[in-house]
A and B are shown apart, each in its own frame.
Chain A
Amino acid sequence: MNSKNIWTRLTKGLLQNADDDPVNRYRILRRNIFILMILIAIIPLTIMAVIYQYEYQSSIKTEIVIPLQTLTHKTKHSFELFFEERLSVVRFIATSYSFEELSDQKTLNRIFKALLDEYCCLVDLGLINKKGIQLSYVGPYDFLGKDYSEQKWFQEVVIKGNYISNVFMGYREFPHVAIAVARRTADASPLILRITIDTSKFDNIIASMGLNPESDAFLINRSGIIQTSSRFFGEILDSCPLSFPRGNYEPIVTEARDPQGREILTVFAPFSTSDYALVLVKPKSDVLHTWRVLRSKMLVIFISSVVVIMLVVFKLTDNLVKRVKEADEKRALTYREFQHTHKLSSIGRLAAGVAHEINNPMAIINEKAGLMKDLVAYDDQFRKKEKFLGLIDSILKSVERCRAITHRLLGFARRMEVQLVELDLNELIQETLGFLEKEALYRNIELTLRLADNLPRLSSDRGQMQQVFLNIINNALAAVEDEGEIVITSWEEDSDTVGVSIQDNGSGMSEEIIKSIFDPFFSTKQENGTGLGLAITYGIVKRMGGDIKVKSKQGEGTIFTVYLPKKAKISPGE
């Protein structure tokens, strides 16, 4: 249930569109892209690693198992050859000599001596008659006259014709193997020749396999009794703790665990001619050592790849989302500016329409009043002449005021008919200040100019520029108290732009006010302002391809910074 919840949350989160949640928009976007990219990068890598591991593991197993099988097979063959050789020697002696010769102790001595020269590991040689009585014997023990008739091997050799014993401990506690051959004599009674060999040769054969110390090889019999000493599984005649499958005579490979719990590979090869089987045991860790090394290397590569992918993806996602965020912010800003410009232009069009419509009736009022004035003025007999002339004049004055207003509105609407001229901005600022110096002087306001020497000349419209600075400086004058300070600075911003800042230590503005100061008809001067000054200023600067920035702190003052291109780029008017 719990895991289901987590899954639901995860998938829901992944499917969640970043646009649905504006607060966590970029966090969600970043997470989604990150997870997606990680999945796309890591899933194929993991699949590849897993497939590679299985493929390699199976191929390496075959490559290791086949040599083990071959080695076991060859060694088994050596053992079989050894036994076969001993058997044929005994058989040869049994057929080459007569019963009488072999029963003769001297002859047997001679034969034994000759055998010792040719074959290693012989311990004794003896002849046994059909009743199982030892007739003659050469060897370290006193076996003459010993009766074997009750022993199992005696019955077996009589029936089968030959016999190879399991390993047994002789009187001197040495492991031995007995080999016996039965031959029918002329009177059809069997004679049995028996040799005993020690097992030192077995150890040689096993040693020749060249096994490393972790591996083990030994002979066992069909009952699972160890026949040659084993490194890990017991001494001779101990019972082997491992069990093996019964089967044909081909070496069989099995995987198992030894009593110590180690994982091992065993190769079991039963002999075809005798009771023995050769066992080869190799620890799996040894077999798979190369595999383990490779696997750990692969794991390191895999983990480091994943880490690198994560880092790269993280960095990439971060950059991507940052870009998206920047683009969004830029778009929002552009949209705001567009809206502002749009607002200005629609108000402009409205104003132009209204102004034009009002101008015509205004012209009629003007002419009618003018005519009245003319008539009154030309009529000498008119009583109350002065009174009427006064009234008509005040009508004409009101018309004049309306005219000023409509012309201003129309001026705002058409914004500007720009005439580009080369001008010195410093000079222009000083000229503009000429209009305002009287007020500054009267109110004891300190005007400081920090104008850059060698300020490059601008190609711009003189009248418009004057209006820009007049409006801003006028606002600064309105903002400062008497005896305040206004600082005007100019500088070269970069190869295309010059900057002018107008700083005052006046009342400053709140964030709310700053947002609206460039809007048309927004004014803080109540009756005294039209609310058009800064809107016009903003329009002019923007239209010239420049920019205007405001920084303000309530109670500390305001800085207006105007950036102007050296060559005005006139954007088309509305």
Chain B
Amino acid sequence: MKNLKILLVDDEEEFVTTLAERLELRGLQARSALNGEDALHMIEAETPQIVILDVMMPGLGGFEVLRRIKAQHPQISVILLTGRGSEKEGVKGMELGAFDYLMKPLNIEELIKKMQEAIKSQP
């Protein structure tokens, strides 16, 4: 867990930076990206094990980013964040290969639990 590299992708800067700080306080390596393009570049450069990805983003949308990650790095676990409270989006994301989905606002303990599960499921 301690060497875990996490990438947070969300267009709300305040949200990602704060969340990243909180995760780092817990000893995790969290980087953040504010849009889909940046996220894909960072994935190429740093190959994180887990990506936390917001569904609703301007420019490259969450589902498109997910599709590209899964195409090139199927081993990366993606946990989706949705602000719409809709299970439909979550289910769609899981069909596209996401590990799970969580609804905003987040419960950080829940997020960590999901990440642990994701790591366990990785080969």
A interface residues, Cβ below 8 angstroms from B: 352, 355-356, 359-360, 362-368, 370-371, 374-375, 378, 399, 402-403, 406-407, 410-411, 414, 417
Interface string of B27-44 (1 = CB under 8 A from A): 000000000000000000
B3 at interface (Cβ–Cβ under 8 A)?
A: no
Q: B86 to chain A: closest CB distance in Å?
A: 6
13 other A-B residue contacts (CB within 8 Å) besides A364-B15, A367-B15: A356-B56, A356-B84, A359-B85, A363-B83, A363-B104, A364-B14, A367-B105, A370-B18, A371-B21, A378-B25, A403-B105, A407-B85, A411-B85
Q: Is A359 a contact of B18 with CB atoms below 8 Å?
A: no
Q: How far is the CA of A363 from the CA of B56 in the complex (A)?
A: 14
Q: Is B83 a contact of A356 with CB atoms below 8 Å?
A: yes
Q: Which residues of B contact A355 (CB under 8 A)?
A: 84-85
Q: A506 to chain B: closest CB distance in Å?
A: 34
B117 at interface (Cβ–Cβ under 8 A)?
A: no
Q: Which residues of B contact A359 (CB under 8 A)?
A: 83-85, 104-105
Q: Is A417 a contact of B105 with CB atoms below 8 Å?
A: no
Pick the residue among B14, B22, B56, B104 that contacts A370 (CB under 8 A): B22
Q: Is A410 a contact of B18 with CB atoms below 8 Å?
A: no
Q: How far is the CA of A402 from the CA of B105 in the complex (A)?
A: 9
Q: Is A417 a contact of B87 with CB atoms below 8 Å?
A: yes
Q: Which residues of B contact A414 (CB under 8 A)?
A: 86, 88
Closest residue of chain B to A407 (Cβ to Cβ) is B85
Pick the residue among B14, B21, B22, B85 that contacts A406 (CB under 8 A): B85
Q: Which residues of B contact A364 (CB under 8 A)?
A: 12, 14-15, 18
Assign chain B's interface to a size class.
20 to 34
In the complex, number of A-B residue pairs with CB atoms less than 8 Å apart: 66
- Across the A-B interface, the 8 shortest Cβ-Cβ residue pairs: A366-B105, A410-B85, A367-B18, A359-B83, A363-B104, A363-B105, A407-B85, A364-B14
Q: Is A370 a contact of B15 with CB atoms below 8 Å?
A: no
B4 at interface (Cβ–Cβ under 8 A)?
A: no
Please judge, given known A-B contacts A362-B104, A374-B25, A407-B103, whether A367 and B19 are in contact too, CB under 8 Å.
yes
* 18 intermolecular pairs with C-beta atoms under 8 Å apart: A355-B85, A360-B104, A363-B12, A363-B83, A364-B14, A364-B15, A368-B14, A368-B18, A370-B18, A371-B22, A374-B22, A374-B26, A375-B25, A407-B85, A407-B103, A410-B85, A411-B85, A417-B87
Q: A412 to chain B: closest CB distance in Å?
A: 10
Of A370, A375, A406, A414, chain B has the most CB atoms within 10 Å of the CB of: A370
Q: A63 to chain B: closest CB distance in Å?
A: 95
Q: Is B85 a contact of A363 with CB atoms below 8 Å?
A: no
Q: How far is the CA of A406 from the CA of B88 in the complex (A)?
A: 16
Q: Which residues of B contact A352 (CB under 8 A)?
A: 84
Closest residue of chain B to A374 (Cβ to Cβ) is B25
Q: Which residues of B contact A374 (CB under 8 A)?
A: 22, 25-26
Q: How far is the CA of A371 from the CA of B18 in the complex (A)?
A: 7
Q: Is B83 a contact of A360 with CB atoms below 8 Å?
A: yes
B108 at interface (Cβ–Cβ under 8 A)?
A: yes
Q: Which residues of A contact B105 (CB under 8 A)?
A: 359, 362-363, 365-367, 399, 402-403
B106 at interface (Cβ–Cβ under 8 A)?
A: yes
Q: Which residues of A contact B103 (CB under 8 A)?
A: 403, 407
Q: How far is the CA of A365 from the CA of B21 in the complex (A)?
A: 14
Q: Is B22 a contact of A360 with CB atoms below 8 Å?
A: no
Q: Which residues of A contact B14 (CB under 8 A)?
A: 364, 367-368
